[in-house]
Homo-oligomer: A and B are copies of this chain.
Amino acid sequence: MDLSLPRGIRDIEPQEHLLYERIRQAFYEVADLFNFKMMEPAPIEYLSTLSAKSGEEVAKQIYSFKDKRGRDVGLRFDLTVGLTRYVSSRRDLKPPIKLACYGGAWRYEEPQYGRYRWFHQWDVEIFGSASTEADVEVIDVCDKILRRLELDNLLIQIGERSVVEEYIRKSLRVSSEEKLIELMRALDKVQRKTEGELIKEYEARGVGKDEVNKLLEFGRLHGAPEKMIQVVNELQLKSSEGLGRVWDSLKSRGIANVEYNMSVVRGIDYYTGLVFETVDTRNPQLGSLCGGGRYDLLPKVFGRPDLSATGAAGGIERVALLMTGKAEPRGVVFVAYTDSSLRKNAVKLASELRSEGVKAETALEPKSLGRQLEDASDLGARWTVIIGKRELASGELTLRDMNERNEERLSPEEVRGRLKAG
């Protein structure tokens, strides 16, 4: 029988699952410290909801299908759409509404290194606050999660759509909305394409070489916030003021591993203000570990122009790749017996140990002591408690150190004390 899985779909096996749980735990703890409320939006939505912002195009990139009554539905492709749909339908909630979610999502895209058709995200969103402070809080919570996971070499790359827009309008004298978007798309490609490729591509679309060059020059601007604020000031862009406020708040929050980067614009039709991405500078091939920004348009599409929105998502698969080997299961104690008549005693002792918080396992089938010790060793047990007839009669147990391969006869209380100590 064919036991394979559909392309891009996989099991999360125990070793990787340990990492995911460590990330989830860190996320919950940190999001809670910031007083985000944890929830999970529906995994299946009407296609009309999923495509509300990005149009019918989205159906090609997601798992969409007709349910048994012929309605078009789809699996969520992120957590933001569902959370925004939820908040938009809840007019009783008082802003700011801070929501957080950890969960899986699905996209029907070609699998790549660290990217699957089923993937997991952490997600934080703040609805109903248009302030810079909300944008920075989102950056802050993501940064604290990654730090709690002891990741380093992290660089937070911050862009600001209003600065880019002002630059294009003012310095490139662009007034048409269409051309503005076209040029922002070019900027988005600065980190992935060569200058030559971009000039060629945009000339074909009727954008002059000089304009593209000027834009690329702007897009290459990146560096420490203080320096960049000065540079943008010199370009006489009014929107530079916002960059100053962001930096003030970042400093108050003790966040310094930041650069301002004019090429960071992210999803063009989606974001509306500050945007950011966090990368591991030693593992740039992984892409961003998390990213997000302000997206005031989505709640508007859902009928809530009063709710502005800012948020970010972290990619669990990619973060887990950086943590390989960083989560080990807790050690187990094996309880063995020398004679099958003592099995009950072993089952009982293992049960008592567990009730005292000690991870304990005993053979499920009757086995010789030798086979039991083999099992204990395969399970990576540091200690094996051996119940023997004579020892039991004298009220003692044998404690075997599996590493040192030596044994001691101890009272049950001594054994427990030893095992509870680790």
What is the interface of chain A, defined by CB distance below 8 A to chain B?
1-6, 9-14, 17-18, 21, 28, 32-35, 37-46, 48-49, 52, 60, 63, 65-68, 71, 73, 82, 85-86, 88-89, 94, 96, 99, 104, 106, 108, 117-118, 126, 129-131, 133-134, 137, 140, 144, 248-249, 252-254, 301-303, 329-330, 332, 343-345, 347-348, 351, 354-355, 357-361, 364-365, 378-379
Contact = CB atoms under 8 A, between A and B. Distances in A.
B2 A14 contact: no
A254 B46 CA distance: 49
Contacts of A10: 42
Nearest to A136: B347
A66 B404 CA distance: 57
A66 B68 contact: no
A100 to B, nearest CB: 9
Given A65-B65, A347-B252, A360-B35, A1 B41 contact: no
Given A330-B32, A344-B252, A39 B63 contact: no
Contacts of A131: 364-365
B301 A1 contact: yes
A243 to B, nearest CB: 16
B71 A6 contact: yes
A35 B364 contact: no
Given A63-B67, A359-B33, A303 B347 contact: no
**Best-buried of A2, A40, A104, A106 by chain B (most CB within 10 Å):** A40
A39 B14 contact: yes
A32 B4 CA distance: 28
Contact of A39 (B13, B86, B99, B108): B13
Contact of A361 (B17, B34, B67, B344): B34
A52 to B, nearest CB: 7
A46 to B, nearest CB: 6
13 contacts: A1-B301, A1-B303, A5-B46, A6-B44, A6-B45, A6-B67, A34-B361, A35-B359, A35-B361, A63-B67, A65-B65, A133-B343, A140-B351
- Closest A-B pairs by Cβ, 8 of them: A65-B65, A14-B37, A252-B347, A3-B89, A35-B361, A129-B364, A252-B348, A12-B40
Contacts of A144: 354
A73 B39 CA distance: 28
Given A49-B3, A303-B3, A354-B144, A39 B11 contact: yes
Contacts of A355: 254
Nearest to A126: B364
B359 A6 contact: no
Given A6-B73, A10-B42, A14-B38, 15 more contacts: A3-B85, A3-B88, A5-B44, A13-B39, A13-B86, A34-B354, A34-B361, A35-B360, A43-B104, A43-B106, A131-B365, A133-B343, A133-B347, A133-B365, A134-B364
Contacts of A41: 11
A37 B21 CA distance: 12
A268 B120 CA distance: 36
B133 A3 contact: no
B43 A9 contact: yes
Nearest to A40: B12
A20 to B, nearest CB: 8
A174 B17 CA distance: 48
A85 to B, nearest CB: 5
Nearest to A330: B32
A249 B346 CA distance: 11
B11 A86 contact: yes
Contact of A108 (B18, B67, B118): B67
A41 B49 CA distance: 28
